[in-house]
Chains A and B, each alone.
Chain A
Amino acid sequence: MTLQQPALPATAVATRPAWHRDRGRLFQEIGMLAPAVALLTIFLIVPFLLSFWTAMTNQPLVPRPTPVRFIGFTNFLRIFKDDLFWTSLWNVSRFTFWILPVQCGLAFATALLLHQKLPFRNFFRGLFFLPAITSMVVVCVIWGTLFQYPTGPLNQVIGFLSGGRIQPIDWLGDPNWAMFSIVLLSAWQAYGFQMIVYLAGLQGIPDELYDAARIDGANAFQRFWHVTMPGLRPTHVFVLVITTIQAFKLYTQVAILTQGGPKSSTETVVHYMVRTGFEEQKLGYASAVSVILFVIVLIIALVQRQLLRRFDV
């Protein structure tokens, strides 16, 4: 018995022109991509390009009868001549310099501790992560109360522990202390996120590496130094870069607690931008500040990419 091949469908497929099939597929692909491309364009690309455009105009916040003019790089030149901008950049750099070791160090130490097989470690993981999911406004209210001068809880504890030898500190009112206070509460609020990233990094190091190191004769510190630290290299880079970028965007704490004061000691680039844009209503000028901030963050992101590539992540 012989089987008859159903000739028609095979012939139909074979004779269908290639361009026809390709075009059908192209329409299908465009149709699939269109929603994502449209959303990205409307909510990311257009605002991004608009901010570049606005930065080169004298656009006010509230429309005026006079038309908006293209003024080229005038806003940028004015920013670079503004001492307050440089102060804000210096402040945010100071903040970054302090927040990196405090926040990342705290996160790393906590992650190392919670990576051990301790009782209730999942409970403590949740507990230590709690500030990270607490609204910054709430955190600021809590810490604002703790920082109260001269009779806030923090001053009372310090006074009690020092037997009254240390005078109450005006945490948020003294230019020498204000930025440090912001660092302290920011680190407390945000270290939970870095802790989780470090925990994930620690869990990614195979147990067999530790076993091999134990058999090779490594003590606890040597295992930490030769297995944990190299294993966390990409995590360290990631955490440091993310923290740096976040630090450069410091705003909420300053807006709620100090409004950039005292004596501009906590003025930050974003706070400066919001103030010029919304209080002084100079939207073009504020956009130029945002473009400068974007360039700074972009440089950090590029450095991150290079570092991650070096560590083969």
Chain B
Amino acid sequence: MASVTIEQVRKQYGAVPVIHGVSMDIEDGEFVTLVGPSGCGKSTLLRMLAGLEDISAGEIRIGGRLVNDVAPKERDIAMVFQSYALYPHMTVAENMGFALKLKGEGKVAIEKRVREAADILALGPLLDRLPKQLSGGQRQRVAMGRAIVRHPQVFLFDEPLSNLDAKLRVTMRAEIKDLHQRLKTTTVYVTHDQIEAMTMADRIVVMRGGKVEQIGKPLELYDRPANTFVATFIGSPAMNLFDGAIADGQFVTNDGVWLPMPADYRGAMAEVYGIRPEHLTIAENGAPATVVVVEPTGSETHVLVKLGSADANLVLRDRVDLQPGQPVHVAPNLPKLHLFSAQGTRVN
């Protein structure tokens, strides 16, 4: 196990910069997810950490050791790929033991380590099979087995669950989390799925356009997003944002809809009013809206309404009898209000 320090790391492909001076500290044994939309640079950053991509500028340290020019095999890391990257001509056991074989470990030692890893991941009965004879979930587990068999200082996961179906993804999510809790190995996990990031990580790094937007614990990011990007990226359905301005102690949207403000608000001028769907409720004294779509999910009901010309999502815990086109009134839970400047920075 080791800490990881990334300091002002930059990456350029020719004249095109893709990572713009990213810095973060990952503590020993911590589970950190890098999350962001496609093309935000999260996988590139992970590959730079692995040594698969050169660093244009900055420093990367693993366990305090500068690894900028250290080959991947010398970094004492293991990586799990999106496509699993299992060697198709090798059995599960050979795949898992390949790194040890290259290291020159003896046959008995390799077998022992492979057996240990197989026991942890319940891969025992599959050891003699080829990857093509395994299901997606089993392949994913073999890829993890190949990683843990080496007892690395850091695990790197590059969107490992993207190729699995929704149900299996939930199961594997729990397995990876459980594995981390048992092994306590420092883990950097890349995903574009914010649910994965929220449920698995000790801390989340939200990235956009090669920059870090916010670093924090999952609920910190959820409760106090630093900007509108994080606010809309974390949470599903996304936070409702309304453009407008404060006037007479209330917030007036560009459509002229009046939304309440906390009476004691003395913060900077807010021009974006944000409220999460579960913090917007149907209330007699709320702003007038019209129901567009009602989606009952069983445990809750998702309602899309028109507030002026803007769309607003509501997540209601109770079952409601609403019809499309029905006029309603919606009101925010004011203590849960998020206010942002015109540039999208949090102001409350």
With A214-B72, A312-B132 as given contacts, are A226 and B98 in contact (CB-CB < 8 Å)? yes
In the bound complex, do residue A227 and residue B102 qualify as a contact, i.e. CB atoms below 8 Å apart? no
In the bound complex, do residue B103 and residue A212 qualify as a contact, i.e. CB atoms below 8 Å apart? no
Question: Which residues of A are found within 8 Å of B81, using beta-carbon distances?
Answer: 208, 211-212
Cα distance A214–B98 in the bound complex, in angstroms: 11
Cα distance A212–B143 in the bound complex, in angstroms: 10
Q: Which of A128-136, A187-195, A215-223, A252-260 contacts B (4 or more CB under 8 A)?
A: A215-223
In the bound complex, do residue A216 and residue B77 qualify as a contact, i.e. CB atoms below 8 Å apart? no
In the bound complex, do residue A230 and residue B72 qualify as a contact, i.e. CB atoms below 8 Å apart? no
Cα distance A230–B132 in the bound complex, in angstroms: 15
Our pick among B73, B88, B89 for the contact of A214 (Cβ within 8 Å) is B73
Cβ of A50 < 8 Å from any Cβ of B?
no
Identify which of residues 200-219 in chain A touch chain B, using a CB-to-CB cut-off of 8 Å.
Answer: 206, 208-209, 211-218
Q: How large is the interface on A (under 10, 10 to 19, 20 to 34, 35 or more residues)?
A: 10 to 19
Cβ of A233 < 8 Å from any Cβ of B?
yes
Question: Which residues of B are found within 8 Å of A218, using beta-carbon distances?
Answer: 73, 102
Question: Which residues of A are found within 8 Å of B78, using beta-carbon distances?
Answer: 215
B168 → chain A, closest Cβ, in Å? 20
Question: Which residues of B are found within 8 Å of A312, using beta-carbon distances?
Answer: 132
With A217-B99, A217-B102, A217-B103 as given contacts, are A212 and B88 in contact (CB-CB < 8 Å)? no
Our pick among B77, B83, B86, B132 for the contact of A215 (Cβ within 8 Å) is B77
In the bound complex, do residue A211 and residue B79 qualify as a contact, i.e. CB atoms below 8 Å apart? yes
Question: Which residues of A are found within 8 Å of B82, using beta-carbon distances?
Answer: 208
B92 → chain A, closest Cβ, in Å? 14
Cβ of B24 < 8 Å from any Cβ of A?
no
Cα distance A233–B99 in the bound complex, in angstroms: 22
Return the CB mask of A207-250 against B: 1 if under 8 Å, else 0: 01101111111100010001100110100000000000000000
In the bound complex, do residue B52 and residue A215 qualify as a contact, i.e. CB atoms below 8 Å apart? yes
Question: Which residues of B are found within 8 Å of A215, using beta-carbon distances?
Answer: 50-52, 72-73, 77-79, 99
Q: Name the residue among B50, B51, B102 with the largest chain A CB count within 10 angstroms.
A: B102
In the bound complex, do residue B89 and residue A233 qualify as a contact, i.e. CB atoms below 8 Å apart? yes
In the bound complex, do residue B87 and residue A209 qualify as a contact, i.e. CB atoms below 8 Å apart? yes
Cα distance A209–B88 in the bound complex, in angstroms: 9
In the bound complex, do residue B132 and residue A226 qualify as a contact, i.e. CB atoms below 8 Å apart? no
Return the CB mask of B69-96 against A: 1 if under 8 Å, else 0: 0011100011101110111110000000
Cα distance A222–B71 in the bound complex, in angstroms: 15
A54 → chain B, closest Cβ, in Å? 47
Cα distance A46–B320 in the bound complex, in angstroms: 75
A216 → chain B, closest Cβ, in Å? 4
Cα distance A233–B132 in the bound complex, in angstroms: 16
In the bound complex, do residue A222 and residue B102 qualify as a contact, i.e. CB atoms below 8 Å apart? yes
Return the CB mask of A24-53 against B: 1 if under 8 Å, else 0: 000000000000000000000000000000
Our pick among A208, A211, A216, A233 for the contact of B98 (Cβ within 8 Å) is A216
Tell me the nearest residue of chain A to B75, going by C-beta: A215
Cα distance A172–B333 in the bound complex, in angstroms: 95
In the bound complex, do residue A208 and residue B85 qualify as a contact, i.e. CB atoms below 8 Å apart? yes
B308 → chain A, closest Cβ, in Å? 36
In the bound complex, do residue B85 and residue A206 qualify as a contact, i.e. CB atoms below 8 Å apart? yes
In the bound complex, do residue A227 and residue B87 qualify as a contact, i.e. CB atoms below 8 Å apart? yes
In the bound complex, do residue B83 and residue A208 qualify as a contact, i.e. CB atoms below 8 Å apart? yes
Question: Which residues of B are found within 8 Å of A208, using beta-carbon distances?
Answer: 81-83, 85
A236 → chain B, closest Cβ, in Å? 13
Question: Which residues of A are found within 8 Å of B47, using beta-carbon distances?
Answer: 211
Question: Which residues of A are found within 8 Å of B89, using beta-carbon distances?
Answer: 230, 233
Question: Which residues of B are found within 8 Å of A222, using beta-carbon distances?
Answer: 102
Question: Which residues of A are found within 8 Å of B71, using beta-carbon distances?
Answer: 214
Tell me the nearest residue of chain B to A212, going by C-beta: B85
Cα distance A233–B72 in the bound complex, in angstroms: 27
Cα distance A215–B147 in the bound complex, in angstroms: 10
In the bound complex, do residue B73 and residue A217 qualify as a contact, i.e. CB atoms below 8 Å apart? yes
Our pick among B52, B73, B132 for the contact of A216 (Cβ within 8 Å) is B73
Our pick among A209, A217, A226, A233 for the contact of B85 (Cβ within 8 Å) is A209
Tell me the nearest residue of chain B to A227, going by C-beta: B87
In the bound complex, do residue A216 and residue B83 qualify as a contact, i.e. CB atoms below 8 Å apart? no
Question: Which residues of A are found within 8 Å of B52, using beta-carbon distances?
Answer: 211, 214-215
B329 → chain A, closest Cβ, in Å? 34
Cα distance A214–B102 in the bound complex, in angstroms: 11
Cα distance A214–B77 in the bound complex, in angstroms: 11
Interface, chain B (partner A; CB < 8 A):
47, 50-52, 71-73, 77-79, 81-83, 85-89, 98-99, 102-103, 132, 146
Interface, chain A (partner B; CB < 8 A):
206, 208-209, 211-218, 222, 226-227, 230-231, 233, 312
* New A-B pairs, 13, CB < 8 Å, besides A211-B50, A230-B88: A211-B47, A212-B85, A212-B87, A212-B146, A213-B98, A214-B51, A214-B71, A215-B79, A216-B146, A217-B73, A217-B102, A226-B87, A233-B89
Minimum-distance CB pairs A-B, first 8: A217-B73, A216-B99, A212-B85, A208-B85, A230-B89, A217-B102, A208-B81, A215-B72
Contact sample, A vs B, 11 pairs, CB 8 Å cutoff: A208-B81, A208-B83, A211-B47, A212-B86, A214-B52, A215-B79, A216-B73, A216-B146, A222-B102, A230-B87, A233-B89
